[in-house]
Structure 1
Amino acid sequence: MSKYTRAYDGWLTRYKINRPLSRSEFEGRLDVKDSISLPPIDSGLIKINSVFVECIERWFFQRGWAALGGVPAAAIWVYFLILFGSKIYTPPQGESIASLAHIIAGWYATMLCLLLVVAIFFFALAKDFFCYTHYPIRFNRINRKVYLFRHNKKNGVMTLDWDKVHWCVGRGRDVGHYIYELRGHVLDDDGIVRYTFAVGQYCESHAGILQHWEALRLYMEESPAALPYPPLALSISTRPTFRNCMLLVISWFDGYQSIKMFLFSMLYGFFRWLALSTCREPRWPSEVEAECQIPINDPYQRTAPMNVGEYPDFDEEDKRQQNEYVAFARAAAAAYEEHGSQSRAPEA
């Protein structure tokens, strides 16, 4: 098996499962007891308190891509579907009646277009439309459980033991460059991979994911007090408002750099908003919420922002300290990447 995953594995396509761990995955396991020699910095926290933290799934920031490519493609084939379907029994020009061959060809073209529309919907549009705004992953430090939200139906939440998940840094290819993600493998008693998931936003460096891992590891193994700025700051909003969709996409693409990039960001942001507007908020089942009761006046509970980029609990001094820490953490990650480290795990 290749140590590189495909660009959209885990979302539009599936991770490869029912297989043994690769050598790099086995050797690159991240031990929950071993600290990382990098300052922690989270990559996608949306809730935090003294009982649990909650993260976005790997593909939250990419939502809207399927809509951007799938809606125009589906519209084209719907046009041809209507065009061919409306002329099945219409005689060709110069003839008084449609021949059997004409009717069969019309039905064939119509059904082919219909199949293409259905395929585009199920393999692309259904991943963006009429599902959930996000698929949260919750880490409970009290009972040492990890909850994976998949849907609101029966058995829609997968509950895992924090200590038993095989954590590693996953590596994939995306448009000419490598990307990294914090990946968890669920293994059976024989060490066969039965399920794979990824936590938080991807990074373009191995060190960035190690920092993300260290933030989660410190929270689960020690306490919220072990986390400095910015892990105790929430700036990601999952509310599917038009403003949030535009702010997130423009900042992600650096849309103010050029007029072309700005216009593309606006287009992508529109399709992201269009898709997420049809989605519903995820709801944890009552049994999960019962296991994640937050104490009254919890000093570590943070307020989720209404809009992307806001810090509801921060004053100007907090923001200054946060900016300093982010610059320090990024510089440490850049130095780690440049000079390497003996403690760096093999890439999985």
Structure 2
Amino acid sequence: MSVYGLYQPYKVNRPLNRSEKHHRLHQGRPAKVRFFNNEQSVIRINSTYLETVDKFHKGGGDTGLFALLFFMLVSIHLYVLYHCFFVSEKETKDKIIDIVISSLVMSFFYFLSGYFLLKQWFKWTHYPIRFNRKSKMVYVFRTNGSVLTVPWQDIYFTQDKEPGILNDWSIRGHILDSDGETVLETFSLGVCTDKSTTLEYWEFIRCYMEEDVVPELAELIMFCPPAEDRKEGFIFCWQNLLYMGSRLEWLLLPLTLPLSLEASVWRYITCVTGKIPRWPREVLDACRPDPADPVSISAANNPEKMWRLVFANEPRDVWQERYDRMDAATNKIHAVLAKRYGHHI
């Protein structure tokens, strides 16, 4: 579970630490990667802007444990109250004491489970990030519903290890004070995974903002979350959590199928109870795409037979055509980078 940014605020008004300086990601400097990975986070891409989900989006089923704990506590508490009122033969004074003590004990656990639940339920369906390629501006939908607007070049990007036992990394963007050292605000890009994949994700975003390879980047997108101006349906919640990279993962289906189904229920509740994020008018006006733009990819372009893609079970010719197209796009991006920066990258 990714903690910082949603469950726990980022630490601000502090100097950059050693790790953030060591793992800095520089604008204008290509990273050495083989692939350009969008991690199925792209909501829409065109020649004007790229919009992605936040790093918490894919893990929307994380609330399951806390939801089960909360409802279990409610059931236990109701049973205690029932027993005190209708079963116990104690005097009224003793019953009241039992009720007060049990309620005080339960209140701590109610707060613990409810705190994590309400960080996702009844909030927003997701927290989009929009990258305007033409104006070189970045728009971040904050967790309180406000919007951070900042120039691309003014953001200090860095890879950062997420707390916990899992080897998860994220890409954080820091807004620094005029001293270039003090962190005033922090947000994360839409990925939380292993370190090498976060670097591939960074290069996808950087190339969109800085290189003339938008059509090629669009070719690398297999499907988009249907989160733009609407709430995701239960089926997509399940598909996104179940998505398989290869048929080898079929061996794990007896485990992943029920777990993903259970998690998709909680993810769907997050979507149903959440509000749809809306960009303010000034952002929409600044990101108005060209009606004749040849690049326009969104959930409307998702495969018709989505389940076959989810289970890595597309016909051989369909899979080969997509692989060849993505491989050609990847090679072209590398050629553009090599021509601009030299073959040493």
**Structures share fold, TM-score greater than 0.5:** yes
The amino acid across from 1:220 in the alignment is M
Match of 1:143 in 2: 135
Q: CA deviation at 1:63?
A: 0.7
User: How far apart are residue 174 of structure 1 and its match?
Assistant: 4.9
CA distance in structure 2 between the partners assigned to 1:89 and 1:297 by the alignment: 71
Q: 2:42: which partner in 1?
A: 45
SS of aligned partner of 1:223: coil
For residues 1-348 of structure 1, the aligned pairs below 5 Å read 7-39=2-34, 40-43=36-39, 44-66=41-63, 68-86=64-82, 92-93=88-89, 95=90, 97-99=91-93, 101-121=94-114, 123-150=115-142, 156-172=146-162, 174-175=164-165, 177-190=166-179, 191-206=181-196, 208-225=197-214, 227-228=216-217, 230-231=219-220, 234-238=223-227, 239-251=231-243, 254=249, 257-305=252-300, 319-324=322-327
Structure-2 change in CA distance of 1:187 and 1:299 (3 Å): same
Sequence identity percentage: 24
CA contact (8 A) 1:128 1:275 kept: yes
Structure 2 residue runs of 5 or longer lacking an equivalent are 310-316, 333-343
With the length of structure 2 as denominator, give the TM-score of the two structures: 0.79
- Please give the alpha-carbon distance, in whole angstroms, between the structure 1 residues aligned to 2:134 and 2:29: 19
Alpha-carbon RMSD across the aligned residues, in angstroms, is: 3.2
Q: Deviations over 1:99-126 (max 9, x none)?
A: 3x442332231243244324422x2111
The separation in 2 between residues aligned to 1:81 and 1:174, in whole angstroms, is 32
Residue 283 of structure 1 deviates from its aligned partner by: 0.9
Shift of 1:217: 1.4
Letter in 1 for 2:78: I
Name structure 1 gaps, 5 residues minimum: 1-5, 330-341, 344-348
Distance (whole Å) between structure 1 residues aligned to residue 250 and residue 226 of structure 2:
19
Equivalent position amino acid for 1:321 in 2 = D
2:336 matched to which residue of 1? none
The aligned amino acid for 1:14 is: P
The verdict on how the C-alpha distance between 1:259 and 1:12 changes in structure 2, with shifts beyond 3 A counting, is same
CA separation in 1, counterparts of 2:101 and 2:329?
Answer: 59
CA deviation string 1:22-73 (max 9, x = no partner): 112123322211122324332322111111101111111111211x111111
Please give the alpha-carbon distance, in whole angstroms, between the structure 2 residues aligned to 1:65 and 1:305: 27
In structure 2, what is the Cα distance between the partners aligned to 1:327 and 1:144? 23
1:36–1:214 contact (8 Å) kept in structure 2: yes
Return the letter of the residue paired with 2:150.
L
Whether the aligned pair in 2 keeps the contact of 1:237 and 1:307 (CA below 8 Å) is no
| Partner secondary structure for residue 127 of structure 1 | coil
* 1:346 alignment partner in structure 2: none
Is the CA contact 2:13–2:182 (under 8 Å) kept in the aligned structure 1? Answer: yes
How far, CA to CA, are the matches of 1:276 and 1:136 in structure 2? 14
Q: Structure 2 counterpart of 1:37, which letter? A: K
1:163 maps to amino acid: Q
Taking the aligned partners of 2:270 and 2:61, their CA distance within structure 1 comes to: 6
Q: Deviations over 1:266-307 (max 9, x none)?
A: 211222223322223211111111111111121122232476
Q: Which amino acid aligns with 1:116?
A: F
What's the secondary structure of 1:60's corresponding residue?
Answer: coil
Amino acid in structure 1 at the alignment position of 2:171: L
Moved more, 41-50 or 220-229: 220-229
Give the 3 Å change call, closer, same or farther, for CA 245–232 of structure 1 in structure 2: closer
8 A Cα contact 2:220 2:326, kept in partner: no
Q: CA deviation at 1:12?
A: 2.4
Is the helix fraction higher in 1 or 2?
A: 2
Q: Deviation per CA, 1:295-344, whole angstroms, max 9, x where unpaired?
A: 11211222324768859xxx958624345369989xxxxxxxxxxxx98x
SS at match of 1:247: helix
Normalised to the residue count of structure 1, the TM-score between the two structures is 0.78
Question: Using a 3 Å threshold, how does the CA distance of structure 1 residues 252 and 124 change in structure 2: closer, same or farther?
Answer: farther
